[in-house]
Amino acid sequence: MITIVESPNPLLNQVCDPCDLADRELRRLAKSMVKAMYKNGGCGLAAPQVGVSKRLVVIDCDQDDSGEQNPIVMVNPVIVETSGEVVTEEEGCLSIPGISVPIARPEYARARFFDLDGEEWEIEGDGLLGRCLQHECDHLDGITMFERCTPQARLQALADYEQAQAAGAKPGDTSVS
């Protein structure tokens, strides 16, 4: 079972390498990332979060109580458009357990990516999906919530994170009581 890389870790601040679509390992990596995403209750996971510095993301923003799983594997995803109002909302991250951080992002995003068979796709959305696409693609450029929020929110987030770590926060926790 793969483990989630937790901040601070230099892996989370590296610009990831493009995936080679002929790489047979990608399929296995994607599979274990999907598993890890659901196991930890996330709606997205990027390869650097499991210790692999490659441009690979898995997301599922349609999870409900039915238990139905529709993960999307995104190889070499690129945000090609963002638009709409810039909205600030609390985000969580499996690599920064125990806290949530207010992050301002355009509400709509469109991303282009390849599937594991090398076919090119586009996905677009606002709300959770739009936010998740931007959050996960940030990971591929070494940008975590700490780098994406305002300097003021960053100070608060770092202080909260220190407390959360001391309290033993686990990936998937967005608050520690």
Q: List the binding residues for Fe cation.
A: 93, 135, 139
Nearest Cα to Cα of residue 116 among 31, 3, 17:
31
The phi, psi pair for 22, rounded to 5°, reads -90, -5
DSSP 135: H
Residue with smaller CB distance to Zn ion, 19 or 37: 37
Q: Does residue 93 touch Zn ion according to CB under 5 A?
A: yes
Q: Which of 119, 122, 136, 147 is catalytic?
A: 136
Residue with smaller CB distance to Zn ion, 19 or 46: 46
Decide: 52 and 94 in contact? Cβ < 8 Å.
no
How many Å apart are CA 38 and CA 125, to the nearest integer? 21
Binding flags for Zn ion, 31-50, as an x/- string (CB under 5 A) = --------------------
Residue with smaller CB distance to Zn ion, 93 or 169: 93
Joined together, the tokens standing for residue 138 give 């940030």
CB of 14 to Zn ion, least distance (A): 14
Joined together, the tokens standing for residue 9 give 């870790």
Alpha helix positions (H), 11-87: 25-39
> Which of the ranges 54-62, 86-94, 104-112, 162-170 carries the binding residues for Zn ion, by CB under 5 A?
86-94
> Which of the ranges 13-21, 26-34, 93-101, 164-172 carries the binding residues for Zn ion, by CB under 5 A?
93-101
Q: Known catalytic residue: 136? A: yes
Residue that is written with structure tokens 């600030």 in the block: 88
Catalytic residues: 136
Give contact residues for Zn ion (rule: CB under 5 A). 93
